[in-house]
Structure 1
Amino acid sequence: MGPADLVQKISISAETPRGSERNGGGGAALAGAEGAAPGGWRHKCAAYVLALRPWSFSASLTPVALGSALAYRAEGALDPGLLLGSAVTVLAVHGAGNLVNTYYDFSKGIDHKKSDDRTLVDQILEPQDVVRFGVFLYTVGCVCAAGLYAVSTLKLEHLALIYFGGLSSSFLYTGGIGFKYVALGDVVILITFGPLAVMFAHALQVGYLSVSPLLYAVPLALSTEAILHSNNTRDMESDRQAGIVTLAILIGPTFSYILYTLLLFLPYLIFCVLATRYTISMALPLLTIPMAFSLERQFRSRSFNKIPQRTAKLNLLLGLFYVFGITLAPAGALPKL
């Protein structure tokens, strides 16, 4: 699944400006937007917003918040402008990556009438619309990155390395090489929506690259990967029929369950170590552990309905409590901060 597959995707069906058939809840949403404010341009804007799948953006915003919190704890200060700029930059690249995923899945015949994402299948938007919007968002991301370089003390080569690494990952997930289609999508997501995004936000704040954000990103990266893995496990049969090879397909249902369980609970083990050895504030993410046990039971029973969505909710809450825990930690209490 693409970057947006980190979250359970909402099915989209709508009447197009040209009058295609209306079906599904997504169509009602777009029809409501059109009815509330007559005019094709408003209908088109609503379609563009839905195509971005904004409900998936927590997967990129949480790492930005974590990287900024780590910088605040290390330096004792935080630049709100850099925080906002880094968030907008990451969101632009994430949104563009979502559109790339939509375009290539459609062009390869993977998306169909029963797919979660039917933006192009139902002609809510035309392929050229998706391409143009994706190019626009990548351009916005590059402009924002240039602006961040102008106001940050981070070296150009370091900023470019991280930024274009993330941009390349968002495109190559389904475009070009298409890591998603050859069982490497999990690796891309694990790196991009964890260490890379956290390091980007941290480096902008402190002005240099550091290894410590990579270490602190591990719990969040594992939790984020759990979203994708639950989604891929649910879609094993349809992905196999479409010719996609995912990690879930390679290892099968039993080992997929074992992997999902590890991805769910390893972050809590890390938080327990941090809380007992360094500061009790790192125990805050443990408040979400009942949700993890509930998800484990649901996955074990192979009742996959809504499980990626529920895993994403856990990821968001765990990430927020993690950020709060780091922010509340006494100065010097955490290692390398």
Structure 2
Amino acid sequence: MDAFKRYTVASRPWTFTASVIPIAVTAALCKKELGAELFSMNLLSALIVGIGCQAASNLTNSYYDFKYGVDNKFSSGDRSLVEKKISPSGALVSSSLLYLVVTMVALPHLWQSIARGGSEVAWVFLPGMALAYFYTAGPYNLKYHCLGDLAIFLAFGPLLMQFTALLLTGSVQWQLMSYTLPVGLLTEAILHANNTRDIKTDSKAGANTLATVMGYQVSVVLLAVMIIGAYVAAAWITWAESCGAGITFLSLPVALMILKDLSPKKLVNMDERCAQLHLLFGVLLTLGISISSYLGC
């Protein structure tokens, strides 16, 4: 049991809202537009795949960051490997088991899609799995070659949301795309805040993240653009698609405090604050879509 607890902590369960929010937003929209059944095995499958894949990716990421010297006792966000609470081989085995579970859960849906004469589920599931694994794993090491930010946006935005829609409705839902913008941008803001804070240590380890390439000043501006962009997208959604989405602006004071505090001394926990904003915004957006279905707008 102690080992299970240590590996659970190493999978960083506090980050799983990054998977839950896009799935929740998608489910609410599919319910509003198409009357999709929310409390179903299909939604449970989407949650298992989303959370399981993220947990596996977190463990893979910890392993390779530790292996390449990006994580050490001075710069590690997750200290499970640095403090030898889990072993490197254990991290790899655990991530492999999680990838296997995710694949087994997704397989029936892949087969159903193919049986209907389509391959849409495969087209979103397989790239999502690849991005999760190759985020830090070789031979691509996306995080270390300035592609990690794009990978996170795609994985937690369009890919996960379309995967959920496919499971709930059986078809691609293009109206989702505008909703992927605020969700994807705020998810990416969490990563970018983390990478901006770690510019010095990542540079020393040879990790070429977008933040290390752009430098501190430009990275801070980009972080602000991501946060502001999420609210611009929310305004468009409120005007053009779901009037209830306007309640996302109740989270604006939290966003403004983050923008106000974009300074070197306050970056230590900026990723956590961006994660809190992502959660609050996502919950409000989900509620807003649900409200819109009752208001008929």
Overall identity of the aligned pairs, in %: 31
1:149 Cα shift? 4.4
User: Which residue does the alignment assign to 1:106?
Assistant: 66
Gaps of 5+ in 1: 1-41
1:278 Cα shift? 5.0
8 Å Cα contact 2:49/2:106 also seen in 1: yes
Counting matched residue pairs gives: 293
CA distance in 2, matches of 1:332, 1:288: 22
Instruction: Pick closer, same or farther for the CA change 1:216–1:307 going to 2, 3 Å.
Output: same
Pairing 1:18-167 to 2, within 5 Å after superposition: 42-79=1-38, 80-114=40-74, 115-149=76-110, 157-167=119-129
Instruction: Pick closer, same or farther for the CA change 1:277–1:77 going to 2, 3 Å.
Output: closer
**More deviation, 106-115/191-200:** 106-115
User: Which residue does the alignment assign to 1:318?
Assistant: 281
CA distance in 1, matches of 2:163, 2:207: 31
8 Å Cα contact 1:67/1:200 also seen in 2: no
CA distance in 1, matches of 2:242, 2:173: 22
Pairing 1:102-251 to 2, within 5 Å after superposition: 102-114=62-74, 115-149=76-110, 157-176=119-138, 177-251=140-214
Instruction: Pick closer, same or farther for the CA change 1:332–1:211 going to 2, 3 Å.
Output: farther
CA distance in 1, matches of 2:144, 2:47: 29
- Deviating above 6 A after TM superposition, structure 1's stretches of 4 or more consecutive aligned residues are 150-154
CA distance in 1, matches of 2:164, 2:116: 11
1:215 Cα shift? 2.2
The alignment's TM-score, normalised by the length of structure 2, stands at 0.92
The alignment's TM-score, normalised by the length of structure 1, stands at 0.82
8 Å Cα contact 1:154/1:208 also seen in 2: no
1:214 Cα shift? 2.1
How far does the alpha carbon of each residue in 1:27-57 deviate from its partner, in whole angstroms, 9 at most, with x for none? Answer: xxxxxxxxxxxxxxx2111111111110010
CA distance in 1, matches of 2:83, 2:117: 45
**More deviation, 268-277/47-56:** 268-277
8 Å Cα contact 1:261/1:296 also seen in 2: yes
Q: Which amino acid aligns with 1:49?
A: T
**Aligned-partner SS, 1:330:** helix
8 Å Cα contact 1:154/1:207 also seen in 2: no
Q: Which amino acid aligns with 2:25?
A: L
1:265 Cα shift? 1.3
How far does the alpha carbon of each residue in 1:99-133 deviate from its partner, in whole angstroms, 9 at most, with x for none? Answer: 11111111212221122222222221112211111
CA distance in 2, matches of 1:210, 1:154: 17
Pairing 1:259-274 to 2, within 5 Å after superposition: 259-274=222-237
Structure having the higher helix fraction is 2
8 Å Cα contact 2:179/2:237 also seen in 1: no
1:84 Cα shift? 1.0
**Aligned-partner SS, 1:125:** coil
Larger Rg: 1
8 Å Cα contact 1:278/1:333 also seen in 2: no
CA distance in 2, matches of 1:191, 1:284: 25
User: Which residue does the alignment assign to 1:6?
Assistant: none
CA distance in 2, matches of 1:96, 1:155: 31
CA distance in 1, matches of 2:121, 2:241: 31
1:154 Cα shift? 6.8
Instruction: Pick closer, same or farther for the CA change 1:154–1:325 going to 2, 3 Å.
Output: farther
Instruction: Pick closer, same or farther for the CA change 1:301–1:200 going to 2, 3 Å.
Output: same
8 Å Cα contact 1:149/1:156 also seen in 2: no
User: Which residue does the alignment assign to 1:37?
Assistant: none
CA distance in 1, matches of 2:242, 2:248: 13
Gaps of 5+ in 2: none
